[in-house]
Structure 1
Amino acid sequence: MTNGPLPSNTDIGDVDDNDDNSSSSEMKHLAINTLQHIQQLQPPHFIVHIFSNNGCFLWEWIRYMLFHKSSYNLQNKLLGIIFDSAPAYFHGKVEGLQSALEYVGDKEQRDKLIKLARSLDTNRVKRRHNEFWNGLCNDTYGSENIPQLYLYSDCDELANVKYLEELIAYRRQQMSGKERVWSRKFVGSSHCGHLKKYPTEYEESVGNFLEFCTAADGFRRSRL
């Protein structure tokens, strides 16, 4: 998380586009490409569906561009966001980052990343995580009332259920209309493995959420 995108005091223009090793720059350009692609498709509406913390890092940039920079004129088309196994709370130990890297498929790349994780500045990692977590708890970019669905597990070693449920409860307090924050807890599924273990239940949860998001505004308000 050290080089994750968009610390709270950072502007998009502050990121060095020439830094090939900057994950922040990579996420910035991925967000730009994603929004440009959506704009080219000209859909009436769209939903963001992200996985794990990398997905959250991308969401940070998309949210920033849409609601802080007011770029792409897509704000009113975004109807909801789905968090799968995200966000993951960091406990302050670099070993936690190393365990996350075990999901990297390529062994050579995984070994390099684990070596890099061991060399990270722990204080910097903690500081970045606090910015990341607080940014998701306290949405200040104007997207705070967009419906959200959290899909998570009771035994996810990366996305700890205790912290996730605390965040969900807090978001329900912050948002106007508690029904805008949906959640589904699965039993025994691995990180980002809920669809594989519970395909029917997963599809049902997402389907019900999409129906809510795409319903007429008047109908949605009547349920809140």
Structure 2
Amino acid sequence: MEKVDEAAVENVVVHSFSNNGIIMYEHLYYKLQQENRFNMFKGLILDSGPGPMGCRDNFYKKNYTDKQSSIFLPIALFSVNAANRVPLAQNIRQVTETIRVLPGNYNKNKHIPWTGAFLTHHEKGTWPLMLLYSKEDDLMPYTYLERMMEHQSNRNADRRLISKRFEGSGHVAHYKMHPKEYKSSIQNFLKSL
């Protein structure tokens, strides 16, 4: 928040990518909530996330429970590293280190909802929300994302929700495959704020 205050930022539109971007948004959300500064938020753009954070939900990809699972984290790390072509030896080292520190970190922070549960059940923003996703994303089930948007709509019928489903693009690849359509969607959303 120091950098935000130093730069005299008054309005924030978060554009998050995958679960890591949503983790940043969640942290900022709780920080601004503590400081009674929600009025800074003007919009939220979610690209390829959030996803379910439990093994069961990711395996079945239906009838989601939003139960968090500590074992899911090393599996997800391995999968994301593999998708990003991290060399196998480096990937195994990172997963091993994660497993080593996981019990202490997980037990200390298990009361904090993970990205999917946070946006589905906890986040109560009133600012416009735009979701960018596709059916071809192997990491984020589109059914989970559509369910999250339905929960958002049920929680606050006055919140402006916009969904843009791209055809044929994978995880965080919508801009790469559809640059004109992606830019136009973002520009139109920003202009509407």
The verdict on a shared fold, with TM-score over 0.5 as the criterion, is: yes
Q: Name the counterpart of 2:175.
A: 195
CA offset digits 1:94-135 (Å, max 9, x no partner): 4444212224565354332233466767xx69x959932332
1:209 pairs with 2:189 = yes
Q: Name the counterpart of 2:120.
A: 137
Q: Name the counterpart of 1:86.
A: 49
Structure 1 alignment gaps of length 5 or more:
1-34, 214-224
User: Pairwise mapping of residues 23-102 of structure 1 onto structure 2 (< 5 A)?
Assistant: 35-67=1-33, 69-70=34-35, 73=37, 75-92=38-55, 94=72, 95-102=75-82
Contact in 2 for aligned 1:83/1:149 (Cα 8 Å): yes
CA offset digits 1:38-97 (Å, max 9, x no partner): 222223422111111111111111000001x116x4x32220111111102234174444
2:154 to 173, 177, 183: 173
Contact in 2 for aligned 1:150/1:182 (Cα 8 Å): yes
Contact in 1 for aligned 2:46/2:132 (Cα 8 Å): yes
Contact in 2 for aligned 1:154/1:161 (Cα 8 Å): yes
Identity of matched residues, %: 27
TM-align CA RMSD:
2.8
Query: Counterpart of 1:174 in structure 2: which amino acid?
Result: R
Query: Counterpart of 1:81 in structure 2: which amino acid?
Result: L
Structure 2 alignment gaps of length 5 or more:
56-70
Pick closer, same or farther for the CA change 1:58–1:70 going to 2, 3 Å: same
1:167, distance to aligned residue in structure 2 (A): 0.7
TM-score calculated relative to the size of structure 1:
0.65
Query: Counterpart of 2:127 in structure 1: which amino acid?
Result: I
Q: Name the counterpart of 1:158.
A: 139
Contact in 2 for aligned 1:89/1:158 (Cα 8 Å): no
Q: 2: distance between equivalents of 1:106 and 1:37?
A: 32
Contact in 1 for aligned 2:43/2:129 (Cα 8 Å): yes
Query: Counterpart of 2:45 in structure 1: which amino acid?
Result: I
Query: Counterpart of 1:193 in structure 2: which amino acid?
Result: A
CA offset digits 1:143-174 (Å, max 9, x no partner): 52121111111111111111111111111111
CA offset digits 1:7-39 (Å, max 9, x no partner): xxxxxxxxxxxxxxxxxxxxxxxxxxxx32222
Q: 2: distance between equivalents of 1:190 and 1:165?
A: 16
Q: Name the counterpart of 2:67.
A: none
Q: 2: distance between equivalents of 1:91 and 1:129?
A: 15
